[in-house]
Amino acid sequence: MLKKPLLASLLSLLLCACTQQAAPPTATQITAAENARPFDTEISAIYQRSCISCHTTISSKAPLVGFAPDWQPRLKQGMDVLIQHVSEGYKAMPAKGFCSDCSNQDFKKLIEFMSTPVAANQA
Ligand code: HEC
């Protein structure tokens, strides 16, 4: 159906947004990000519907789920700024991250999950 080609073309639109990383994630870290899910089932559903497509795809340039080097500098901005960036959009990060009915509380939980090292989420 239409869904996958649409997603692929959206992702290819994002390829030009470049940020430099010190050390790229390993294949194992990417697989761990792809397999990680929030414990909270409602948040997990939102995450899988809205955030996972970019945030586990290296070519999207989005900070990789559970990959600390991507998140540490961003976390330094503070949670309020991160929530604002998700809500309003930030560079190649679309406003509300494809979750138009998400609350700031939802975004906070999603950010906490996405920025927590994967190993801690699996413990
Ligand atoms: C279409 C792809 C896409 C989707 C969908 C998406 N993101 Fe992002 N996100 C990005 C990109 C790209 C960046 C990096 C922006 C930059 O710093 O250049 C980003 C950055 C972020 C940041 C860091 C912002 C900062 O201030 O450094 C947070 C937090 C975030 N996303 C959360 C989310 C959440 C939560 C969702 C789901 C509700 C989501 N994203 C969905 C592409 C996406």
Any domain includes 1: no
Any domain includes 55: yes
Read off the tokens for 100. 């138009």
Any domain includes 110: yes
Any domain includes 2: no
- For 34, other C-beta atoms within 10 Å of its C-beta total 14
CATH number of residue 89's parent domain: 1.10.760.10
Work out which ligand 1 atom sits closest to the CA atom of 73. 27
Residue 7 has pLDDT above 70, yes or no: no
Domain span at residue 80?
Answer: 27-122
- pLDDT bucket at 4, cuts 50 / 70 / 90: low
Q: Which among 68, 54, 42, 34 is positioned nearest to 96, based on CA atoms?
A: 54
pTM: 0.85
Any domain includes 9: no
Burial grade of 37 (CB within 10 A; 0-12, 13-18, 19 or more): middle
Of all protein residues, the one whose alpha carbon is nearest to atom 32 of ligand 1 is 86
Any domain includes 17: no
Give the distance (Å) from ligand 1 centre to CA of residue 60. 9
Work out which ligand 1 atom sits closest to the CA atom of 47. 37
CA atoms of 42 and 28, how far apart (whole Å) = 27
CB of 98 sitting under 6 A from ligand 1? yes
List, for residues 42-99, the tens digit of each pLDDT value.
999 999 999 999 999 999 999 999 999 999 999 999 999 999 999 999 999 999 999 9
Q: What is the structure's pLDDT at 119?
A: 75
Q: Which of 49, 55, 87, 112 has the most ligand 1 atoms within 8 A of CB, as the residue to mutate? A: 55
CB of 79 sitting under 6 A from ligand 1? no
Any domain includes 86: yes
Number of compact structural domains in the chain: 1
Any domain includes 107: yes
